[in-house]
Structure 1
Amino acid sequence: MQVGQFWPSVGVESCYPQHEEKCRNNMKSSTVPVEVAMQHKILILDDHPLVRSGIRVSLEDTFPDCEVWEASTVDEAISITEENSPTVAVIDLRLQDESGLQYAEYVAREEKDIPCVVLTSFSSPQSILAAFDTGAVNAFLEKSLDIEPLAAAIDAASKGFSSLTLSVAREAARDIQSEGGYNPAEFTERENAIAQLVADGFSDTAIADELNIASSTIRNHLTSIYRKLDVESRTQLASRVWRQRASSPGHTTSNES
């Protein structure tokens, strides 16, 4: 799947009914040149200091008049937001024990006018659909050494344009639907709890803390889950769980419950 491109506007018919309102909110799209001069106030949310520093230097070279803040956790990003009102946020998906999408959910929940640009090394149909589902993510990019796609996405998002359109979400949903299913009835209560937390992006350590059990027990349960599903990785497991969630309106993630 190609991500990070600016797509033409499309209709609001959704791959899943629960996404229709977000489709309407995310319909504006266009190509905006990087050369358009405007002052940006940019929040960078990433748990790797060297990555944050590299992005900051590149953005300050590209946008000499911009203001940039750095955060390593969602709470820190929220605190910076409350104090400084950034105009756009660049967020990584995978933080140490949480997801950058929790910040996007905060932006949507608090009705902040802060478009989010996901910049990640771990792109998947599930993560693309999850980003779309927040209603606050305007672009989804894979990390690269080239700053131009990010600069273009920041410019576009700041103007209210989105590259994370319905067509991208529909393609992600089709990719998910082409994979096998996940039936909670086939698993124990503990296995289901672990599978849901894996789909929410929790590490083994975070799951162990959440469920108050040993990390070795988590790994044993995952081995059992993988065997039952005939999968080999957390990504494949998360994919199955996300497909099951998408077909079950009203499901909430562990972070929302």
Structure 2
Amino acid sequence: MKNKPLILVTNDDGITAPGIRTLIAVMQEIGEIVVVAPDKPQSATGHAITINNTLYLNKISDDNSPFLEYSCSGTPVDCVKFAVNEVLKRKPDLCVSGINHGSNSSINVIYSGTMSAAVEAGIEGIPAIGFSLLDYDWNADFESAKKFIKKIALEVLENGLPEGVILNVNIPKLKEKEIKGIKICRQAKAMWMERFDKRKTPQGKDYYWLTGEFVNQDKGEDTDEFALEKGFISVVPVQFDLTAHHAIQTLNTWKLNEKN
């Protein structure tokens, strides 16, 4: 590539999170970057947008900074919308979201603010990738992920992505030499078996904590969960067209238009 690509960097853990600082460092090796990220943690916000509250965008980089950096009071999706409509002078060549502190494999993609930011970029026609490390520790070691993140980002810049497709990349909690490679996968059919832990305040008022157990009922060897368990990085192509195309023919057999 003759000219440096323009790369938008965002996340859902907040602009100060070690994960996004690592992602910024990697993307600086590839191109010109602009950062627009939440000013506070926004995990599990899904594809939420802010419509009933004011939004604030604060420039936090100065004239001596090697890149533009903004914090946003809204959700990860708000950050992408702000970047596209208010900050960037042209459409970026790539949007990367993360590195998330924790897994976004299988059903977690539905709840993920990290992936929703990437999906929003995809809706805008921007090639996009969401990166997650399977370590929820704020002080997680992201060093082993750097080489692979750079490789995947360069491949997307070189080859593009199919229309309407975003990549969901999950990285096992392993040292670089222990990671066996990268596998293209499908999303595992797994879910959270949830319950609410009921407690009482000192004043006797009931309150609840959401808790639960992650259950993978998918025995396939082509899934993200299987790849991660075996020490591979999983790459799942995700689409934002939620149409269940395979069900259209079945639904057309219903007697929906018959008069009673």
Q: Give the TM-score normalised by the residue count of structure 1.
A: 0.41
Q: Which structure dedicates a bigger proportion of its chain to strand?
A: 2
User: Which is greater in Rg?
Assistant: 2
Q: State the structure with bigger RCO (CA 8 A, min sep 6), 1 or 2.
A: 1
The TM-score normalised by the length of structure 2 is 0.40
Specify which structure has the higher proportion of helix: 1
